[in-house]
Amino acid sequence: MGGDRLENKTSVSVASWSSLNARMDNRFATAFVIACVLSLISTIYMAASIGTDFWYEYRSPVQENSSDLNKSIWDEFISDEADEKTYNDALFRYNGTVGLWRRCITISKNMHWYSPPERTESFDVVTKCVSFTLTEQFMEKFVDPGNHNSGIDLLRTYLWRCQFLLPFVSLGLMCFGALIGLCACICRSLYPTIATGILHLLAGLCTLGSVSCYVAGIELLHQKLELPENVSGEFGWSFCLACVSAPLQFMASALFIWAAHTNRKEYTLMKAYRVA
């Protein structure tokens, strides 16, 4: 009788532990899936942010008439030797947009350089873009933009370099974290995903750093080059995607680390229970 009771209690205990373990496994799996979805969304947002040209947008009256001055600004804008002040003046005048890789302006489709076109209620416009070269990306910024004799502005120089490099570091960390997560799925273990969580945490910090550097750089630029009258500027949707990507990375990181750490802890408790 005593042996039967002990066996029944043991069977009930094993069944209860198995049921609890199954519920925990489902909870960990759910957290893992949610973290993967957040990671995928943040990766898409970050990639789209890097590849588009709307980190900052300027709004100015459309230049209907084209003069010799307009032609000169356009020629300098597309020149490989255009300095910071030159292309920013063009961005101010022609509804410019700026990304991490390119700068764009909106101009009249048919530009009459030597005689103004007849004024009409509407006219066609086209967006022209010029890519930043690697030399421009790492070029020093000057205290007085455009004046090479004014000295190097180290703060703006390193802010620009960080805003360019950190998004790529962030994207690389997330891709490497995804590779580790894939290996964890193949091994059927959640514990390696703690590395994925840490990498996503670092990626979120890089994204946040990039956004902060960009905001600081724009504010410092506008202190040195004031916007002309009737010209306004605002952060674009590419910048917003980067801002949204950072908290998604942090949330994915928290879920990965929680699932891996808690699963490891429960596995240790289960092993100790079985030994006892």
Q: The domain that contains 223 carries what CATH number?
A: 1.20.140.150
86 part of a folded domain: yes
Residue 163: inside a domain, yes or no? yes
Q: What per-residue confidence (pLDDT) applies to 149?
A: 83
Helices 84-93 & 68-77, crossing angle to 10 degrees?
130
Mean pLDDT, range 46-53, rounded to an integer:
93
Q: Does any domain span residue 10? A: no
DSSP state of 98: E
In a domain? residue 6: no
Q: Report the percent of the chain where pLDDT is more than 70.
A: 72
| Amino acid in the structure at residue 199 | L
Q: Give Cα separations from 112 to 66, 95, 107, 109 (angstroms).
A: 6, 19, 11, 10
* Full residue range of the structural domain in which residue 140 is found: 25-113+122-269
pLDDT tens, position by position, 87-137: 888 888 888 999 998 999 887 765 544 444 454 444 567 788 888 888 888
Question: Residue 46 has what DSSP assignment?
Answer: H
Q: Is the pLDDT of residue 23 over 80?
A: no
Q: How far apart are CA 200 and CA 194, in angstroms?
A: 10
In sequence order, the 6+-apart residues with CB closer than 8 A to the CB of 228 are 60, 92, 93
Asked if residue 132 is part of any domain, the answer here is yes
> Does residue 78 lie within any of the structural domains?
yes
| Contacts of residue 213, Cβ cutoff 8 Å, sequence gap at least 6 | 159, 160, 162, 163, 166
- In angstroms, the CA 268 to CA 274 distance is 10
Distances (CA, A) of 18 to 21, 24, 268: 5, 10, 15
Number of domains, the chain:
1
pLDDT of residue 75: 73
Mean pLDDT of the chain: 79
- In 188-236, where does DSSP find H-type helix? 193-224
**Residue range 60-93, pLDDT digits in tens:** 876 655 555 566 666 777 776 678 888 888 888 8
**Is 3 contained in some domain?**
no
pTM for the whole structure: 0.80
| Per-residue pLDDT, 115 | 44
pLDDT at 208 over 50: yes
- Residues 150-204: tens digit of each pLDDT: 888 999 999 999 999 999 999 999 999 888 888 877 776 666 788 899 999 999 9
